[in-house]
Amino acid sequence: MALILKMLIYFYLSAGVQSVHQIAWLSCQFIDEHVTLNNESHVDTQLIYREAMLQFGQAGDSPVNPRAVTFLVTGSKLDLRRYMEGVEAEQVECELRRYSTEGIHVRWPVQGAQGYNRWFSCTIKHSQDLFTVTGFLRQSSDQPPPGQQDYRRWPAIEDGETLTTTVAMVIKTQSPSVKAGLGSHKKLHCQFAIDHKGPNVTVEWHRQHRGEKLKLFSHTSRSGRTEGTGVALKDLAGGDASYKLEFTKMNSEATYICSVSVNPLFASLDINLHIEEPPKVSLNVEPTVSLQEGEEQKIVCEAGGYYPLDVEIVWYEQDPAASGQRVGAPLPKVLQNILLSSHKLNKDDTYSVSAFFYLQASLRDSGKQFTCSVSHKSLRVPIKKSFILHVEEPGSWSFNLMVGFTVITLLVILCVMLRYLYSARKRSLREKPY
């Protein structure tokens, strides 16, 4: 009975662990490097793309794919799977590389660590840009590396070899690509974690645009020295290095780099901020346009204040009754005689453009709806502005005008006569003897 109870508890705990850590392994690409010196003593690097597996388990586990290089990630205070919860293995891309410490040897201060380490970086990206995670894998060894511990003396790794590692440091962003409108407030997410307490961590933010790199923020934990603003110091202790960008401007569009360094490791993530300002669309006519047959009018659709430059404007005509039908309605007819103005650069660096045509009023077009549709990358659906055309025959127009003039004239005569009769009656009452 006790044995059965223990088995039930084991299976319950195993199910719980499986629900939290759904991914047991990832198929990755291991980008290996073969570094040599050429005849001019310059470094030549040949990239070698190899099949690899990132496998989570315990030391001694059999590889899932015996033919691939297996990076067996064993337990530590950090678990890469916690940084990609809620996703399937098919939704992420995994890339492994060697990491050079450029000859710097530092004993990693965790329990059970050997005197020497080989380092690898593992970058996991969501296919829809929901996050990017970079983890540093440490393979400990009691044997010193041959010569300097850098890219020139890396030991060979054979196909089918299993490298037992642990995660030493992780850096993640949930916003690899950010869209912002002008005057908005944005938080550029960046978090990190290290597998031991009290490390000397340096966190920095840089802004890079068109080859120019500007430091925005820097903080070193051991000295407490801080430069710049934008990051809450109280949050850094918990690993939150997110940067707050206040009131975005056009020149806020750039690549923002969050970097975390703990000797001998240096990790950075790029966050691309894109300014997108939706267009404001207007027509130069009212919702109903009344014209006489043969009359011509310039119809203008203006899209203004948008960014970036690319915008699409389409004019089409349609029966208003058909526009509300979902099934069986005829397709709108796209107008071909559309002229575009040149793009205008506004003072705030946004753009404006107009699409216009000359409408020749015809009785067969009376009752039709004309629509201007504006598409832009900042819009989920196009902005549409419409008007309905009413066309009248020239005779009916003059007749209506004559009738209106006659009615007004009769009303004026009637008012004058009523005032005259009222005045005459008033005089007669005044002259009547009592």
Say how far apart CA 134 and CA 176 lie, in whole Å. 12
Q: What is the pLDDT at residue 17?
A: 37
Q: What is the pLDDT at residue 349?
A: 93
The Cα angle at residue 71 between residues 130 and 96, in degrees rounded to 5: 50
Mean pLDDT of 404-428: 77
Q: Where are the domains of the chain?
A: 22-275, 280-322+329-392
**Cis amide leading into 308 (omega within 30):** yes
- Confidence band for 173, pLDDT divided at 50, 70 and 90: very high
Coil, strand, or helix at residue 357?
A: strand
Beta bridge partners of 372: 315, 385
Say how far apart CA 28 and CA 380 lie, in whole Å. 34
The residue that leads in pLDDT, 144 or 81, is 81
pLDDT digits (tens, 9 = 90+) for 111-150: 666 678 889 999 999 999 999 999 999 998 776 665 554 5
Say how far apart CA 272 and CA 93 lie, in whole Å. 19
Between the CA atoms of 129, 130, 134 and 135, what dihedral angle is there, to the nearest 10 degrees? -150
Beta bridge partners of 266: 261
Which residue, 34, 59, 25, is CA-closest to 139? 59
272 has a pLDDT exceeding 80 = yes
Percent of the chain at pLDDT exceeding 70: 85
The residue count for the chain: 434
Enter the tokens of residue 97. 């590389």
pLDDT digits (tens, 9 = 90+) for 204-218: 999 999 889 999 999
Q: Could you write out the DSSP letters of every residue in 55-92?
A: EES-TTPPPSSTTSEEEEE---S--GGGGGTT--GGGE
Which residue, 47, 188, 57, 71, is CA-closest to 124? 71
User: Do β-strands 202-209 and 191-194 pair in parallel, antiparallel, or remain unpaired?
Assistant: unpaired
Q: Which range is most confident: 16-30, 303-317, 405-419? A: 303-317
Say how far apart CA 413 and CA 405 lie, in whole Å. 12
Instruction: Report yes or no: 257 and 188 within 8 Å, Cβ to Cβ.
Output: no
Cβ-proximal residues to 417 (8 Å cutoff; 6+ apart), any chain: none
21 has a pLDDT exceeding 80 = no
Say how far apart CA 61 and CA 148 lie, in whole Å. 31
Mean pLDDT of 382-388: 96
- Confidence band for 268, pLDDT divided at 50, 70 and 90: very high
DSSP 209: E
Give the right CATH number for 22-275 from 3.40.50.1820, 2.60.40.10, 3.40.50.1010, 3.30.390.50.
Answer: 2.60.40.10
Percent of the chain at pLDDT exceeding 90: 65
- 280-322+329-392: CATH topology is Immunoglobulin-like (2.60.40)
Say how far apart CA 287 and CA 315 lie, in whole Å. 15
97 has a pLDDT exceeding 50 = yes
The two domains 22-275 and 280-322+329-392 share their CATH topology (first three levels equal):
yes
